[in-house]
Each structure stands twice: as C-alpha cells, then as structure tokens.
A = this chain, B = another copy of it.
C-alpha cells in the first residue's frame, strides 16, 4: 500500500454542527459521492477518503487531516484538482492549509521545465534576483509597445513580458505585437550585449494556443506568460511538457480561490499547485502594493516554490502588483535570491524610461537578497 495523499484542512463548522461528522462528509464528497451504506465494503476500502484526525483550534475552527488514495487522482491534474477542490468548492468554511504529497503522485508530474536554474540560464544571471517589467497599456499600438520593450531591454531588465490584458485585440494583435516586440528586444540584446527575455501573453483561445506556440518557436521567443486559472491548470502542464518555453504563470482569475475562509492557503495554490502544473515563475502581488495580500502570504508562496517537492525543480516568485522602483532597496532584502522583481507603472511614470529601468536594475543588482 503506497503512501496516501494527505490534506490538512482548516474546517469552520456552523453552530451546532459536529466537526467529525462534517469531516466524514467531506472525505465522502470528494471521493465516492454516495451516501453511507450503499457502497460495497471493498469499494469503500479502496476509494473512500479517510479522516485521520479532527482537532479543535484556538480560533474556533478545526484542524482536519484526511487521507485520499493516490489512485483516486488518476495521476492526472484535472482529477487531482477535482479531488482537492471539486464539489467542496461549492460548500463553505473549508480551507486547504497544507498537503503532504506522496512521491508516487509527484512522480506523475514534471513540474517546471526550466525552473530556477533554467530561467537563470536564459537570463544569464547566476545567483541574484531578476528584474522584470510588463509592457503596457492595453490600447497601445505594437510599435509603441515594442519601443518600450526595447528601452527596458537596453537598460538590462531580465524579463520583459506583455501586460496580462494584452490578448489579440485589434489595437495590438497577437502576431503583430509579438513580432514587433521580439524584434526590438533582440535588437537591444545585440546592441547592448544583454540577454533580455521576452515573454508574450499566451493566454488565449484553447484552439489557437498551438499555432501561437509555433509562431514563438519559429521566431525564437523562449518564454511566455499564461494564466492557469483562465486557461485551465492542465493547459499550463501540457505547455510546460511540450512547448519548449519558460512559463510565467499569472494569478488572474485565481485570487478568489485563495482569498478567505474557504479555499486554498496562498502557499498551496500559488506555490505547490502552480509549480506542480509547470510554472517556472509565479507572478503574485507583493505586500504593500495595490492588493491586499500580506508579506506572510508572499513568503508562504516563496517557501512552497522553493521547498523540496519530489524531483520537481524550484520556481521563481515574481513579485509585482504595484511595486515601486524606489521601494526595492527595502523589499529586496526581505526575500531570497530566487525572486523576480516586476516593476512597471513606477518606471513609466518617469520621463526617461531607459534610465528609470537602469536604475531599477542597479538597485536589484547591488542590494543583497535575504540569504537563501
């Protein structure tokens, strides 16, 4: 008998509701989905989730551990996610705090294709934190987006990515935009001797991603951005296995899954699951920016992206969401070196984009990160 998949939940029950009973229902809902007493005993033994412990917490909720047989996941990502958060997503007061991953299950997933080492190789940056910017805004023409990308590449920014709202709008259609931006970034790399990597936004129609990946391969683009909650986590997994691209995973549409009493702890969703699905870097809003996430949330994600997880490579945490270039000297030391600093708005606010970007690059290059 192989090790089970163990989920650690925080369970908040209604007044008068019995926590043990609720935990039992949860284990049943996520597996047999059939009431007690109608399933043959050998099937229950084979497939039913098993409540391992239920213990009251100081905050009035309960710590619950439930073990699931690995075979129930089918060793496929959609069914794994269904086991984790399928029907239970329609309930209330359940939060997945931690997952004990059995090696047998992890072995079914390759995770990041590049990981920290591979992405560092692309950017020719051995051990320091990386820098990134998003070209924007929506509404701008390809040549203007390309010009901005070129300036940032000349300044030595490691990664230039499309803003995640840039799709295939007529203002800057995917193909035209990608050709123009790639050209400017390559030109800057030749002129300045840098190794800036351009990551276009690949989040698009399911039946057009293949042709877009082909275009990127054809012209030599080495990275792309995808939003797994928009595309399906398994599309990220499939792209990581087959596209040859380093993949930046964007949290769009995913925030609700990790925001409160009901959902995933941020470290599990944006750490374990994004990494398992194949993200080489996970974009997340830093504390103190435009979004309500805390430093603890960000650190928890950072830890899960770097922690041992079977044979899976670690991934970068890419912090953005309103990071001001001027605050980097304060923020860089608060995270480890496998961090990518994504700064956009505060660069554009300055008159000389290239100089602003170069200053940002210098701050990140000279400010020691938290020791790994």
Contact = CB atoms under 8 A, between A and B. Distances in A.
A78 B348 contact: no
B203 A168 contact: no
Contacts of A47: 137-139, 171
B232 A82 contact: no
Contacts of A348: 34-35, 38
Interface stretch (A54-62, A97-105, A285-293): A285-293
Contact of A76 (B32, B33, B205, B292): B205
How many chain A residues sit at the interface, stated as a range, is: 35 or more
B91 A291 contact: yes
A175 to B, nearest CB: 13
Interface stretch (A124-132, A252-260, A327-335, A362-370): A252-260
Nearest to A242: B207
Contact of A85 (B82, B234, B235, B253): B253
Contact of A82 (B71, B134, B227): B227
Interface in A322-368: 344-346, 348-349
Most chain B CB within a 10 A radius of its CB, from A171, A253, A346: A253
Majority SS of interface residues in chain A? loop
Interface in A49-103: 71-74, 76-79, 81-83, 85-92
Most chain B CB within a 10 A radius of its CB, from A138, A168, A231, A348: A138
A31 interface: yes
A39 interface: yes
A147 to B, nearest CB: 13
Contacts of A237: 205-206
Contacts of A79: 165, 167-169, 203-204
A300 interface: no
Interface in A253-282: 253-257, 259-260, 262-263
Given A74-B168, A165-B82, A255-B91, A34 B136 contact: yes
The 10 A-B residue pairs whose C-beta atoms are closest, nearest first, are A232-B232, A47-B139, A90-B255, A89-B255, A86-B252, A79-B167, A32-B137, A43-B139, A74-B167, A74-B169
